[in-house]
Chains A and B, each alone.
Chain A
Amino acid sequence: MSSNAAEQCEALHFWDTRRNVIRTRVGGAVIGEGVVFSHGYSMLEELTGHATFFQVLVLNVTGRLPEKRLADWLEATFTCMSWPDPRIWCNGVGSYGGALRTSPVAAITAGTLAADSRLYGPGSFPLVAETIGKGLRLRQQGAPTADIVARLNRRADSPSAAVPGYARPIAAGDERIPVMDQVARNLGFTAGPHLELAIDIHDYMMAEFEEGLNLAGYLVSFLMDQNMSAKEIYRLYSLCVNSGIHACYGEAFDNPPESFLPLMCDDIEYTGHPSRKTPNHQQDKENVYVQ
């Protein structure tokens, strides 16, 4: 084999070993034998009927089968993260889907995508995790809370503070945190260093800026104390808003089409260029139309 051919063979080796072959640590079915594995567990003999849905969800996301109480806590967070209120942006997508007679899967999927947002929902979690993780490193270096907040503040030139995991749209304060804290207490959890720091920051932010911890900040800190990574937390919560979208989609679907918040033409304010004559682009391609 010539040296060029050998080099090409080596360059393609990575791709050739993957062509028409799947190698997986996730698991899968052995077709024809009625056997299905997830991360080494038999789905039918060890998981179905023995583990909860949320335990298996964590297993599929992280590769680790968690104790049931952690799965129960996660399930409770899903319950309080999805209100049946179409004014919430992702839920409104579900309502518009119902108004347009989409399938439920299309509407719920579209609403789920809407919650992949930097402002709320799972899309906000990676930055919250980065913030809390950075804050804990500063704390471990001995930084006082005020200095930590100053370092985490993304709006340092403003009188208000912007720290991911703190504040929330429309309302200040988060009524879900004491509820979830009680759920955690009932399940026998104790706060770890991430959550302790998150509450220290909360106390400081409330005193200085009247902005407090939001549910994303609380649950991300809690889960980081459970040794979950930012990536794992983001993945776990991908579908966390689906329940409220369902409610909004269903109601809109069961009403006449397009009857959810109909708009008159004048309900939209046009602020663009005044009316002008359209050049004939098709007939005279030599014209230059930029005005």
Chain B
Amino acid sequence: MTGRGIDTQVRDRKEVFATRSRTRIWGEKPSPANPYLADAAICHGYDHLDLIRHCGFADVLYLLFRGELPSQDQSALLDSLMVALINPGPRHPACRAVMNTAVSKTNPAHFLPIGLSLLSGDHLGNGEVAAAMKFLLENSGGDPEAVAGDLLELAPSPEGDRRIAPGFGTRFGGIDPMAGKIVRHFSVLPGAGDALRWGARFVEAIEGHGMGWLMPGIAAAVFIDLGFSPREGGGLFQMMSAPGILAHGLELVGQPLTAMPFVENKDYVIERG
């Protein structure tokens, strides 16, 4: 088609691949009786059974990613965040998607993959949390009022919601009051750090313009204060939101299709042309 010869001779790159995978997270001691089975396991050096006996979930979650157990203050902050994020709520599109699949008799084993796939997005999901963390990391050395002032000049006013920065803006045209209450709780915890404080000052500068904290922004600030990276924060946000998504789906298992609203023909408008 091109009328030109394309040299596409295929050559093996002869790259050297690892002979074994490597991890600094988890080590397993093989069973003397069967080397495919583990007799003991360590997580960053700590015996798994000892972690089960002596630590809480938030402690070991922190250990898994950060390589050390958290301080008491860090553990309390992470635990509070997990409670804050535990349920996006039945109006959140990721939950609604799972609730609709539940009444349509989808295999319940798929509820989490479905909901968490949707929670990967750049709006209220993994993508927004990671972007909010990058925004905070890049700007928190500066004056929040000045940053807000610059962004307010540039911020478009689209139809629907406004985002002055990832994690900050409007939800359904307004300031999310629950987000404000939750972040006020975090701000007085001993584990609260610079990112939460900078975010609070940034919000003071944008509140007069009808914008405020959004949950991905709060999560982003807490993740930074706990030392997580943007990639880790985005994924942890999905993981921490999983219980609510699953619960709302499972609540509707066995219910008929009619247990969820269905848009009638009169409200389904096919626009042509």
**Chain B associates with chain A:** yes
- Chain A residues with CB under 8 Å of B172's CB are 12, 15
Q: Mark A170-203, 1 if CB is under 8 A from B, else 0.
A: 1111110110011011000111000110010011
Of the listed stretches A16-24, A138-146, A150-158, name the one at the interface; the rest are far from the partner chain. Answer: A16-24
Given contacts A196-B2, A269-B21, contact A282 B35 (CB under 8 A): no
- Measured between alpha carbons, how far is A8 from B44 in the docked complex, in Å? 53
- Mark out the residues of chain B between 58 and 78 whose CB falls within 8 Å of any chain A CB in the assembled complex: 59, 67-72, 75
Contact A278 B272 (CB under 8 A): no
Q: Pick out which of these stretches binds chain A: B12-20, B130-138, B177-185, B196-204.
A: B12-20
B13 proximity list for chain A (CB < 8 A): 170-172
Q: Which of B37, B54, B107 has the most CB of A within 10 A?
A: B54
Min CB distance, B12 to chain A, in Å?
A: 6
Most buried by A among B27, B55, B109, B273: B27
Contact assessment for A263 and B54 in the assembled complex, using a CB-CB cutoff below 8 Å: no
| Chain A residues whose CB sits within 8 angstroms of the CB of B3 once the complex forms | 191
Instruction: Answer whether residue B28 sits at the interface, using C-beta atoms and an 8 A cutoff.
Output: yes
CB contacts (< 8 Å) of B117 on chain A: these are 113
- Contact indicator A290/B71 (Cβ below 8 Å): yes
**Docked pose: A222 CA to B263 CA in angstroms:** 41
With A15-B172, A191-B2, A191-B3 known to touch, is A289 a contact of B70 (CB < 8 Å)?
A: yes
Binds A, one of B45-53, B82-90, B147-155: B45-53
A side interface size, CB within 8 A: 76
Binds B, one of A25-33, A76-84, A122-130, A247-255: A25-33
A21 to chain B, nearest CB (A): 5
Is A67's CB within 8 Å of the partner chain B? no
Across the two chains, which residue of chain B brings its CB closest to A170?
A: B13
Q: Mark A87-115, 1 if CB is under 8 A from B, else 0.
A: 00000000000000011011001100100
How far is B1's CA from A185's CA once the two chains are assembled, in angstroms?
4
Instruction: Give the residue of A170, A191, A272, A281 whose beta carbon is less than 8 angstroms from that of B24.
Output: A272
Find out whether the CB atom of B269 lies under 8 angstroms from the CB atom of A110.
no
Q: State whether B25 touches A269 (Cβ < 8 A).
A: no
Q: Which chain B positions have C-beta within 8 A of A103?
A: 107, 109-110
CB-based nearest B residue for A258: B36
A37 at the interface (CB under 8 A from B): yes
* A202 in contact with B6 (CB, 8 Å): yes
Query: Nearest-CB distance from A119 to chain B (Å)?
Result: 13
What is the bound-complex CA distance between A21 and B268, given in angstroms? 6
Taking a contact as CB atoms under 8 Å apart, the answer to whether A272 and B27 are in contact is yes
Size category of the binding interface on chain B: 35 or more
Residues of A within 8 A of B67 (CB): 272-273
Question: Taking the complex as formed, is A50 at the interface, i.e. its CB lies under 8 A from any CB of chain B?
Answer: no
Residue from A110, A178, A289 having most chain B Cβ neighbours under 10 A: A289
B173 at the interface (CB under 8 A from A): yes
Which of B4, B22, B38, B173 is the one whose CB lies under 8 Å from A269? B22
Q: Taking A22-B263, A181-B1, A270-B24 as contacts, is the C-beta distance between A40 and B70 under 8 angstroms?
A: no
- The closest CB in chain B to the CB of A181 belongs to B1
Closest CB in chain B relative to A136 CB, distance in Å: 16
- What are the residues of chain A within 8 A of B29 when measuring CB–CB? 265
Asked whether A287 lies within 8 Å of B21 as measured between CB atoms, the reply is no
Does the CB pair A265–B44 fall under 8 Å? no
> Once the chains bind, are B8 and A268 in contact (CB under 8 Å)?
no
* CB atoms of B271 and A263 under 8 A apart: no
- What is the minimal beta-carbon distance from B232 to any residue of chain A, in angstroms? 17
Contact with B along A230-257 (1 / 0, CB 8 A): 0000000000000000000000000000
Chain A residues whose CB sits within 8 angstroms of the CB of B23 once the complex forms: 268-272
Contacts A22-B268, A171-B13, A173-B10; is A278 near B70 (CB within 8 Å)?
Answer: no
Q: How far is the CB of B229 from chain A (nearest CB, A)?
A: 17
Q: Which of A21, A267, A291 contacts B269 (CB 8 A)?
A: A21
Residues of A within 8 A of B4 (CB): 199
CB nearest to A23 among chain B residues? B269
Q: Could you list which residues of chain B lie within 8 angstroms of chain A, going by C-beta atoms?
A: 1-4, 6-13, 15, 20-31, 35-38, 42, 44-47, 50-51, 53-56, 59, 67-72, 75, 107, 109-110, 113, 117, 159-160, 172-174, 261, 263, 265, 267-273
In addition to A103-B107, A266-B30, A278-B46, 8 A-B residue pairs with Cβ atoms within 8 Å of each other are A20-B261, A170-B15, A177-B6, A199-B4, A265-B37, A268-B27, A269-B20, A290-B70
- Could you list some 17 contacts between A and B, CB below 8 A? A21-B269, A28-B270, A31-B265, A106-B110, A110-B113, A170-B13, A173-B9, A174-B8, A212-B6, A212-B8, A267-B20, A269-B22, A270-B26, A273-B67, A274-B45, A283-B54, A289-B68
